Amino acid sequence: MPARTENRLIQGLPRTLGRRLLNGCESICLVEGNSLFGADEPFQYVYFPILAFVSMGTTLGDHAPLEMGLVGNEGMLGATLALGVNTGPVHAVVRGSGAALRMPREQFQDELRLSPVLNRAVGLYLSVIMSQLIQSAACMHFHEVGPRLARWLLMIHDRAHTDQFAITHELLANMLGARRSGVTIAAGQLQDRKLISYRRGRISVVNRKGLEASACECYEATIGYYDRLLA
């Protein structure tokens, strides 16, 4: 399980570099529903979630937003700066309130210029994000709603640092690219198998092992990729 009180990306850096980054960051509380930036919108800050988590997604025309990935304390928002790109291809919206660190964009760009080690770490993390987005696209095409729902619930569970979290069927439908009715049926099946309980917009993970066994292979694939590159 991830450490509860730190950002793993910063924690994985050499100690002096990690400390310098921490000293340059401001502690904030991210609030559920807040937009950190829109697609193609210049970053004002980079963010390192600690207890908060943020979804990355996209919107096409009049369709509901489609959420493609999650960032919690294993990562950061604003990693494309390592490529010299000041925007991202996705929107970033807070889905779980909690503590985070942030640094003004220009300051982080200075840090990237100063430290090839930081540049490499952020570049590797960017590769993890790409793999998560690619995995989500393939998952949506090939896998059934039930195993996909289990995958997303595990992804949220890993980043929420609590067994119970608030989430609406509408947001789950946006995460799965599925109709709300399909999500309701899939959630009901997980509840009938006593893997989760769902009441008034709050989901409790009751049987984590069972949920892992029910998820599609995409959950393990994304974690495995992160571990190979960054753990």
Site residues, Zn ion (CB under 5 A):
139, 143, 216, 218
Q: Pick the closer one to Zn ion by CB: 149 or 196.
A: 149
Q: Pick the closer one to Zn ion by CB: 3 or 130.
A: 130
Q: Pick the closer one to Zn ion by CB: 30 or 218.
A: 218
Q: Pick the closer one to Zn ion by CB: 143 or 208.
A: 143
C-beta atoms surrounding 53 within 10 Å: 27
CA distances from 58 to 40, 66, 74, 78, 89 (A): 11, 5, 21, 16, 8
The closest of 100, 98, 101, 78 to 90, measured between CA atoms, is 78
CB of 152 to Zn ion, least distance (A): 10
The closest of 128, 76, 139 to 102, measured between CA atoms, is 76
CB of 151 to Zn ion, least distance (A): 6
Q: How far apart are the first and last CA of the chain?
A: 12
C-beta atoms surrounding 213 within 10 Å: 10
Q: Quick one: 38 exposed, middle or buried, by C-beta within 10 A (0-12, 13-18, 19+)?
A: middle
| Region label for 172, one of left (φ > 0), alpha (ψ between -120 and 50) or beta (otherwise) | alpha
Q: Pick the closer one to Zn ion by CB: 153 or 218.
A: 218
Q: What is the C-alpha separation between 10 and 221, in angstroms, rounded? A: 23
Which residues make beta-bridge pairs with 37?
92
Question: Nearest 10 degrees: CA dihedral of 39, 40, 42, 43?
Answer: 40
Q: Pick the closer one to Zn ion by CB: 112 or 183.
A: 183
φ, ψ of residue 49 to 5 degrees: the values are -60, 150
CB of 191 to Zn ion, least distance (A): 21
CB of 83 to Zn ion, least distance (A): 27
CB of 103 to Zn ion, least distance (A): 34
CB of 165 to Zn ion, least distance (A): 21
Q: Pick the closer one to Zn ion by CB: 109 or 132.
A: 132
CB of 136 to Zn ion, least distance (A): 8
